[in-house]
């Protein structure tokens, strides 16, 4: 409903070194179906706080970088998915 947000991790897995993996198209398909923009967001430093091989988080610093919303309507799923990944990689 109005005013609610949700977060989708389009890579589908936590990377070991914080680099970006290929994006899955689910976020684009959902945004196109609902007529919503995609808000690019990048979390940096999480690999130093909770590495995917660790059982417990460690103290550390992380940062959140937020880009401008992307309109993915009218684009092919492949083009829109790449556009979202490119926007996240620039953050």
Number of residues that this document lists for the chain: 91
What's the token pair of residue 35?
Answer: 């007529």
Residue 1 has pLDDT above 60, yes or no: no
Q: What percent of the chain has pLDDT over 70?
A: 98
pLDDT digit string (tens) for 43-64? Answer: 898 888 887 788 898 999 999 9
Mean predicted lDDT score pLDDT of the chain? 90
Q: Hey, what's the torsion of the CAs at 31, 32, 37, 39, to 10 degrees? A: 40
Q: What percent of the chain has pLDDT over 90?
A: 62
Question: Could you give the CA distance from residue 7 to residue 26 in angstroms, rounded to a whole number?
Answer: 12
What's the token pair of residue 67?
Answer: 């880009």
- Are the C-beta atoms of 57 and 63 separated by less than 8 Å? no
pLDDT digit string (tens) for 68-84? Answer: 999 999 999 999 999 99
């Amino acid at each position: 409903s109005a005013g609610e947000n949700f977060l989708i991790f389009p890579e589908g897995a936590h990377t070991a070194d914080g680099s970006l993996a290929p994006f899955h198209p689910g976020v684009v398909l959902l945004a196109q179906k609902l007529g919503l923009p995609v808000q690019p967001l990048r979390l940096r430093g999480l690999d130093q706080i909770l590495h995917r091989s660790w059982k417990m988080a460690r103290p550390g610093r992380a940062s959140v970088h937020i880009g401008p919303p992307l309109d993915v309507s009218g684009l092919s799923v492949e083009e829109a998915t790449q556009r979202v990944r490119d926007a996240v990689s620039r953050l």
